[in-house]
């Protein structure tokens, strides 16, 4: 939605109005991270939600952290770090065929190309609240999510798709009166 103060007239070539976005939040499982391109600090957190069968599906990342916070996250997440991915819910991430039946990190896309998609697995025990704009096909965050806070009061098994806000559907033609 675009808004402006009532007394303000339109001002050509000026950014005098406000863009107001509806912010949705979700509690997600932090199940891994990628290293930042500049060194041994967190680049992005890998986020998951449980599907109806209880499987942890990769739904996206959150990555907007200061360099100081990125370094703090490495230390903070160290106790959850797994040396071996074999017991992790996303253990099959490197198997191309596994991406056909599950949402896993590391899936090739038109954006990633030949980018290194390796990641550091974490025991999926930490819950974070993130803000997001939209879901793509109802299965993953359309854009990078924004970290809001840790949720020590939540358990990972409660982080499901069922908590996500269903967008209100409408017919734009009907709203505009058949225009």
What digits encode the pLDDT tens for the residues 103-128?
Answer: 667 655 555 556 666 889 999 999 99
- The CA–CA distances, whole Å, from 175 to 4, 11, 167, 169 equal 22, 27, 16, 12
Q: Ramachandran region of residue 13, left (φ > 0), alpha (ψ -120 to 50) or beta?
A: left
Grouping H, G, I as helix, E, B as strand and the rest as coil, residue 62 is strand
Q: What is the pTM of this model?
A: 0.77
Of 8-22, 60-74, 135-149, give the lowest mean pLDDT range.
8-22
- Where in 8-101 does DSSP place strands (E)? 18-19, 24-36, 39-50, 56-62
Give the H or E element holding residue 147.
Answer: strand 146-150
Q: What share of the chain is helix, strand, coil (3-state, %, to 5)?
A: 20, 35, 45
Over range 40-53, report the average pLDDT: 94
Report d(CA 67, CA 82) in Å as an integer.
23
Of 60-64, 97-101, 160-164, give the lowest mean pLDDT range.
97-101
Tokens describing residue 29? 């499982």
More confidently predicted of 96 and 8: 8
State residue 167's pLDDT score: 59
Domains in the chain (CATH in brackets) are: 20-161 (2.40.50.140)
């Amino acid at each position: 939605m675009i808004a402006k103060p009532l007394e303000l007239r339109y001002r050509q070539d000026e950014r005098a109005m406000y863009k107001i976005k509806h912010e949705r939040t979700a509690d997600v499982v932090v199940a891994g991270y990628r290293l930042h391109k500049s060194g041994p600090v967190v680049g992005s957190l890998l986020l998951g939600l449980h599907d109806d069968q209880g499987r942890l599906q990769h739904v996206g990342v959150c990555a907007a952290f200061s360099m100081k916070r990125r370094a703090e996250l490495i230390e903070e997440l160290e106790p959850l770090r797994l040396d071996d991915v074999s017991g992790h819910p996303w253990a099959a991430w490197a198997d191309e065929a596994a991406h056909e039946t599950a949402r896993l990190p590391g899936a090739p896309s038109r954006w990633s190309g030949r980018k290194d998609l390796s990641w550091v697995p974490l025991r999926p025990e930490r819950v974070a609240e993130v803000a997001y704009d939209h879901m793509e096909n109802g299965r993953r965050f359309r854009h990078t999510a924004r970290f809001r806070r840790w949720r020590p009061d939540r358990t990972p098994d409660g982080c499901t798709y069922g908590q996500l806000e269903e967008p209100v559907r409408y017919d734009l033609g009907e709203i505009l009166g058949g225009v």
